[in-house]
Chains A and B, each alone.
Chain A
Amino acid sequence: MGLLDDLRFFGGFKQTLKQVVSPRVTTEYPKAKRPKPPRLHGRHVLNRYEDGMEKCIGCELCAAVCPADCIYVRGADNPEDAPVSPGERFGFVYEINYLRCIHCDMCVEACPTEAITESKLFEFSFTSRADAIYTRAELLVDDDGRPKRLPWEDWREGEDAHTSGWMRATAPSGAAAYEGTVQWSGELGYGVRPPEGGQSGRRDDAATGNISIREVAARKIPVRLGGKVR
């Protein structure tokens, strides 16, 4: 080990001093939160059509596909004088046990009517097992089309607006030619949601709630790497 190697050893001191003036990568979490990506898998919502009808038809495909076995659905015939959903049947019982749910979103993929989608909320905790089972009453969106806020859920402003990100990410047929093409029905309070831009170039990030990770992180990335930090 020569003298020059010994001196190189002090490079670490320069590095740590540089870090002092560079921006923090951590946030003051419960107070401030990072923006969430639109396709984040959070707790579910049961959607409604624009006329207020429920989308769920009680087909139990979500329960069948669920790998964690956390969904329980029972369908029932729509009452003729006051139908709940436009079709023949509706989801009479709909329960999700969040102690078992792994948020894989397979229920969302399986659903033929886009009735069940996932919101971006994952910050919720409960103190009893009964609270962990969300029933239709809690999962169904309210009359404005927004998810119901339960007392143990930490909703922030604007977070309840984008509740169907993953569903709108890819074309249901899976074919690339359908990318960016609307293939879903309208939602209560929001109408027909615009598709995610993907690679089609027709993107409306404000409407889809899309965020560029690079833009979010720009405040932490130096200019020479494409960020905003000088």
Chain B
Amino acid sequence: MGDPLFLHGVDLGAFVIALVKVVVAFAALLVSVLLMIWFERKAISDMQNRIGPNRAGPFGILQTLADGTKLFFKEDLLPERADRVVFRLAPYLALLPAFLVFTIVPVGGVVTIAHHVVELQVADPPIGILLLLALSSVAVYGTMLAGWSSGSKYPLLGSVRASAQMISYEAAMGLTVVMVILEAHSLSTRAIVDSQAPHFWMWNVLRLGVVPFAIFFVASTAELNRPPFDLAEGESELGGGFHTEYSSIRFALFFLAEFMNTVTMSAIVVTLFFGGPDGPGFHVVRWLWPILWFVGKTTVFCYVQVWIRASLPRMRYDQLMELGWKQLIPLSLAWLLIVAGVIESASWGLGLIGACLVAGLLLAQALRVARRRREALAAAELRTVGLRPLVDGGEGRG
């Protein structure tokens, strides 16, 4: 397997095509981020009864460009106690994975240019989707090092939160990706997309049941530190979180990375669960329709991300951890077993469904008992302190 572009060795044509693909993807991604920031601000202002940016360009579409230009010309502060090298490096570590993850996303179908079979995606490595998991782990470094190297308390707290959170949710995310791999029999994103063609009922979101998609979507939102999981930024308690000390263009890079991640993760969701560029096409400009389908689906998920941000309040940290470890990971583990069983044979599938149900009920019971004991313990502790009498205004029982 692997990229068919390099099947017959690397000649000049293949090299040029690869180069063009990289440049086009880079430019398209940057433009999409510009649009995404504008889109998010517009969509969220719709949901908040506001008008949103409307000054720069038609409908304010150039607002991001104006903001970026402004940030570029601002003073770049470097805290005195910062680790200078790491402080400068961190924004790029955050940005790089956001760019690289997009390389494995199939944007369109397969076309033939000058006797070269060209897949419309930057690269189709045989390890495919593993690159996503690897790079999303690298993204932790950007956030973590940014907070740590700032030499300041709140950024450090933000980065500690971020690393714990990203590691917790990576497990659930990885397990759902495994289900997709089991279904597609391949790690290559192109193969994953092809296995979901040509009908929409072949899409993984339906074939695997909606649960893996839901888990992946929640986990990826948490992985990106997007609301309601943006505890690493936590404006209300951490004053901006890991990027508190950043200013000027470095701050802009974090912003760029965050929104690029949003776009990229929407594209990954579409690739894994919604058939990527799959959709009905027409005979005129045959290569264009898959791209349009892909862009359309990705836009929908970008909107959903904004919708989530507008609707949900930020979670408390213990709620975040509880959702990750006690709900998403067991659920995805059980679902993975069921998916594996059903793929193997019907009897295995039914057996594993039964086993998972029993295990789930046991787990739920165990959690209930634990909670009851905790509450009893808390009540007992309160009893020793005593309740202040309300009427006599005295000291209360000490």
Are the C-beta atoms of A26 and B49 separated by less than 8 Å? Answer: yes
Stretch among A12-20, A100-108, A109-117, A172-180 lining the B interface? A12-20
**Cα A13 to Cα B54 with chains together (Å):** 25
Are the C-beta atoms of A16 and B311 separated by less than 8 Å? Answer: yes
> Closest Cβ of chain A: how far from B76's Cβ, in Å?
31
Binary contact track A49-68/B, C-beta < 8 Å → 1, others 0 = 00000000000000000000
What residue in chain A is nearest B310 (Cβ atoms)? A16
Are the C-beta atoms of B49 and A12 separated by less than 8 Å? Answer: no
Interface size class of B (residues with CB under 8 A): 10 to 19
Which A173-210 residues sit within 8 Å CB-CB of chain B? Answer: none
Are the C-beta atoms of A28 and B51 separated by less than 8 Å? Answer: yes
Further pairs besides A15-B311, A20-B46, A28-B51: 6, Cβ < 8 Å:
A13-B307, A16-B47, A19-B49, A24-B51, A26-B49, A26-B50
State the B residues within 8 Å of A (CB): 46-51, 54, 307-308, 310-312
- A125 close to chain B: CB less than 8 A: no
Are the C-beta atoms of A12 and B312 separated by less than 8 Å? Answer: yes
Are the C-beta atoms of A22 and B49 separated by less than 8 Å? Answer: yes
- A82 close to chain B: CB less than 8 A: no
**Cα A28 to Cα B54 with chains together (Å):** 9
> Closest Cβ of chain B: how far from A104's Cβ, in Å?
32
What residue in chain A is nearest B312 (Cβ atoms)? A12
Which A15-52 residues sit within 8 Å CB-CB of chain B? Answer: 15-17, 19-20, 22-26, 28
One of B48, B54, B308, B312 near A19 (C-beta < 8 A): B48
Binary contact track A113-127/B, C-beta < 8 Å → 1, others 0 = 000000000000000
For residue B54, which residues in chain A have a CB less than 8 angstroms away from its CB? 28
For residue A12, which residues in chain B have a CB less than 8 angstroms away from its CB? 311-312
What residue in chain B is nearest A25 (Cβ atoms)? B49
**Cα A22 to Cα B47 with chains together (Å):** 9
Most buried by B among A15, A20, A23: A20
**Cα A15 to Cα B47 with chains together (Å):** 9
> Closest Cβ of chain B: how far from A32's Cβ, in Å?
10
For residue B308, which residues in chain A have a CB less than 8 angstroms away from its CB? 13
What residue in chain B is nearest A15 (Cβ atoms)? B311
Question: What are some 8 contacts across the A-B interface (CB < 8 A)?
Answer: A12-B311, A12-B312, A15-B311, A19-B46, A24-B50, A25-B49, A26-B49, A26-B50
For residue A20, which residues in chain B have a CB less than 8 angstroms away from its CB? 46-47
**Cα A26 to Cα B51 with chains together (Å):** 7
For residue B50, which residues in chain A have a CB less than 8 angstroms away from its CB? 24-26
For residue B307, which residues in chain A have a CB less than 8 angstroms away from its CB? 13, 16-17
> Closest Cβ of chain A: how far from B56's Cβ, in Å?
14
Given A19-B46, A20-B46 in contact, is the A13-B51 Cβ separation under 8 Å?
no
Interface size class of A (residues with CB under 8 A): 10 to 19
**Cα A71 to Cα B310 with chains together (Å):** 49
What residue in chain B is nearest A20 (Cβ atoms)? B46
**Cα A20 to Cα B45 with chains together (Å):** 8
What residue in chain B is nearest A29 (Cβ atoms)? B51
> Closest Cβ of chain A: how far from B329's Cβ, in Å?
17
* Leading 7 A-B pairs by shortest Cβ distance: A12-B311, A16-B47, A16-B310, A16-B311, A20-B46, A25-B49, A13-B311
Most buried by A among B49, B50, B307: B49
**Cα A12 to Cα B50 with chains together (Å):** 18
For residue A25, which residues in chain B have a CB less than 8 angstroms away from its CB? 49-50
**Cα A12 to Cα B51 with chains together (Å):** 21
For residue B311, which residues in chain A have a CB less than 8 angstroms away from its CB? 12-13, 15-16
For residue B48, which residues in chain A have a CB less than 8 angstroms away from its CB? 19
What residue in chain A is nearest B49 (Cβ atoms)? A25
For residue A26, which residues in chain B have a CB less than 8 angstroms away from its CB? 49-51
What residue in chain B is nearest A27 (Cβ atoms)? B51
**Cα A16 to Cα B307 with chains together (Å):** 7
**Cα A17 to Cα B50 with chains together (Å):** 13
**Cα A23 to Cα B48 with chains together (Å):** 10
Most buried by B among A15, A19, A22: A19
For residue B47, which residues in chain A have a CB less than 8 angstroms away from its CB? 16-17, 19-20
Most buried by B among A16, A19, A24: A16
**Cα A13 to Cα B47 with chains together (Å):** 10
For residue B310, which residues in chain A have a CB less than 8 angstroms away from its CB? 16
**Cα A20 to Cα B311 with chains together (Å):** 12
What residue in chain A is nearest B304 (Cβ atoms)? A13
**Cα A22 to Cα B49 with chains together (Å):** 7
**Cα A12 to Cα B49 with chains together (Å):** 15
What residue in chain A is nearest B50 (Cβ atoms)? A26
**Cα A15 to Cα B54 with chains together (Å):** 24
**Cα A20 to Cα B48 with chains together (Å):** 8
What residue in chain A is nearest B308 (Cβ atoms)? A13
**Cα A20 to Cα B50 with chains together (Å):** 9
**Cα A16 to Cα B49 with chains together (Å):** 9
**Cα A71 to Cα B247 with chains together (Å):** 45
**Cα A23 to Cα B46 with chains together (Å):** 9
> Closest Cβ of chain B: how far from A51's Cβ, in Å?
49
**Cα A178 to Cα B85 with chains together (Å):** 78
For residue A19, which residues in chain B have a CB less than 8 angstroms away from its CB? 46-49
**Cα A22 to Cα B312 with chains together (Å):** 19
What residue in chain B is nearest A31 (Cβ atoms)? B54
Most buried by A among B54, B307, B308, B311: B311
For residue A23, which residues in chain B have a CB less than 8 angstroms away from its CB? 49
> Closest Cβ of chain B: how far from A25's Cβ, in Å?
5
**Cα A25 to Cα B311 with chains together (Å):** 19
